[in-house]
Structures are given as C-alpha cells and as structure tokens.
Homo-oligomer: A and B are copies of this chain.
Amino acid sequence: MLDRVVAIDLGGTNLRAAVVATDGAISHHHSIPTDSEQGPEKIVGRLVGLIDEVATAAGLGPDAPTGVAVPGPLDPHRGIVYFMPNLKGWRDFPLGDALRSRTARPIRLGNDGNCAALGEARFGAGVGVDDLIYFALGTGVGGGIISGGRLIDGPHGLSGEVGHVVVALDGPRCHCGSIGCLEAYVAGWAISRDAELVATTTDGERLRLVAAGDPLNATLVAAAAAAGDPAALAILERAGRALGAAIGALVNLFNPALVVVGGGVGTIGEALLAPARRGLADHSFPTARARMDLVSSVLGDDTALLGAAALAFDRASPRS
C-alpha cells in the first residue's frame, strides 16, 4: 500500500524535498538554495541527491513515487519543461526522463500552480471537493483547476492559466505580453506598479510615509491599507475587484464548489478578498455563485510541496 511518497518543490529560491504521508504529514524535510544560473543539468543533479537522501532517510523503497512541482509551464504527459521564467537555461528540457533515468523511480511532474490546486484539494481547504479552483497570487499569478475530480491540464499541459484570463480589453500590459490579464492587476509586480504610481501624487502621501524610502511592494501596501491609508485601500480595491471578476468568469465556466486564494499576495486576506467578493457579485451568475465558497489557502508555504505529494499519490492520470 502506498502510504508515503517523495515530494519536491523546485522553487526559484529553494529546492525543497520531503517525505509526505497520506494524511499530509511532512517529514525528512530538506532544503537547499536554488542557483538560478546553474542550468537544468546541474539542478537535476541536486534534485537527484535530495530525492535519494530523503527517501533513504525515510526508509522508502526504490518504487516509492516522487512528485515534482515545477515553477514554469510544462507538458506533464511527456515530462518536458517548456521554460522557466526565473531559472536560466531551461528550454524544452526533458525533466521527467532526466529524473527517471538517474533515480529509477516513478516520477510525476506538475506545474506549481496545478500542484497547488491538487495539494489544496487533497490536504487543504478542499478535502472532499471535486470542483475546485486555486489562485496562486505571488510575483506572478498561477493556479490550477480541478473539475469533476480531475485536473484540467490540457493536451499540451498549457491549461489552467487562471492568471492570464482577460479582465479588461484595454487594461494594462501583462508580463506575459497579453493585454488586461488578471495578473496585470493582482500580481506582486502589478500592486507595486500601482503603488509607485500613486506614491507620486498627493493621494499617495501616507503610502509614501509608510514606505519610508523602501521600494514599494505588496507587503507595504497591505500594511498601509491595514493602517487605513486610503491610497493603499484603493489599490487593493482595484486589484481585488479584478480578482473577483476573473473568479466570476471561472465560476460561470466551471460551477466550482470552492475557490481558494493562496500565494504571498493572497495572505493579504480580507483587504483583498472583500473587494474580490464585490467583483464576483458583479461578474457571475447568482445561481452558480450561491453554490460556491471563496476562501484563503490553509497550506501556506507548503502548498506546492504538498501538491507535488498529491501528484505522486494520484498516479493514475486520465491521459498518462
């Protein structure tokens, strides 16, 4: 019986490995810094070392499956990473085969946003929920969609990009190159952009004082909003309404029972979720909206790691 798996969170800052039990208990956790300049071959070497280390320490056999959360778009069916926005030298790299040949273990790969959705569904806010959407609000905006108990990954693994749905035809340019994506409103960089903009006006007086010369970021904006700064509140109102509009579109497309908001920006909480609920009310059917909840992630920094474990437990992908 499959009672424990190896989970890897291949992050832009740290490579994390752990053993995860069926109840989500994390053990044998080990983390080393990611060198973003190293390129895929060397990072594979570090990952192989981590996998063997934690598996051996936990007494797992060679057939214990390993799940890997990857911070970039990939084809999970073929195990090929298209590219990594924050790591150098990854381009159509066959990570699945590279790890399989060097560990001789069953390997499952997933985009980190998709993993987060699986993790939340298996171990977090969505236990027992078959229809769930996860928004990872961080530097960028990713996420994942589970519909009818199945991850929507698409024939080439390019689906579930919940941060890159249009919310405004004439909105700001997104880092992805498109116009008016959700990410261009609610990502860390978008909130920073809005804060820098407002800090140069009279309205931004208090926000400027809070920042005290530091580069403005979402954490400072959240702190200023918590202190009642009207400019900061306006920024989060705009970001939250855009988030609510995108959630509304997804509610009308998927009729989910649960929408989970996580990631660093997600930890802002009600200052963002309250306007998101208003946006949701403006941009979704009441019948579908009445049948869903909007909540914060409960897994915190371990979401992707636990998602990688969920991927490893859930080996029977409908397409693989």
Contact = CB atoms under 8 A, between A and B. Distances in A.
Given A73-B287, A282-B178, A152 B253 contact: yes
B145 A82 contact: no
Interface string A57-81: 0000000000000000100000000
Interface string A82-114: 100000000000000000000000000000000
A253 B287 CA distance: 22
Given A161-B252, A282-B178, A131 B155 contact: yes
A242 B170 CA distance: 10
A245 B130 contact: no
A283 B180 contact: yes
A189 B87 CA distance: 49
A152 B160 CA distance: 14
A319 B158 CA distance: 25
A28 interface: no
A286 B158 CA distance: 11
Interface in A159-213: 159-162, 164-171, 176-181
- Of A153, A154, A246, A285, most B-chain CB atoms within 10 Å: A154
A250 B253 CA distance: 9
A165 B253 contact: yes
A168 B246 CA distance: 10
Given A169-B242, A283-B166, A159 B249 contact: no
Interface in A245-302: 245-246, 248-250, 252-257, 279, 282-288, 291
Contact of A284 (B82, B178, B285): B178
Contact of A147 (B152, B169, B256, B286): B152
Contact of A161 (B158, B170, B253, B257): B253
Contacts of A279: 169
A148 interface: yes
Nearest to A319: B148
Contact of A166 (B153, B155, B156, B245): B245
A150 interface: yes
A245 to B, nearest CB: 4
27 contacts: A73-B287, A131-B154, A147-B147, A147-B159, A152-B254, A156-B255, A159-B253, A159-B254, A161-B252, A161-B285, A161-B288, A162-B253, A164-B252, A165-B165, A165-B249, A165-B252, A165-B253, A166-B166, A166-B248, A166-B249, A168-B168, A178-B282, A179-B282, A180-B245, A180-B283, A250-B253, A253-B253
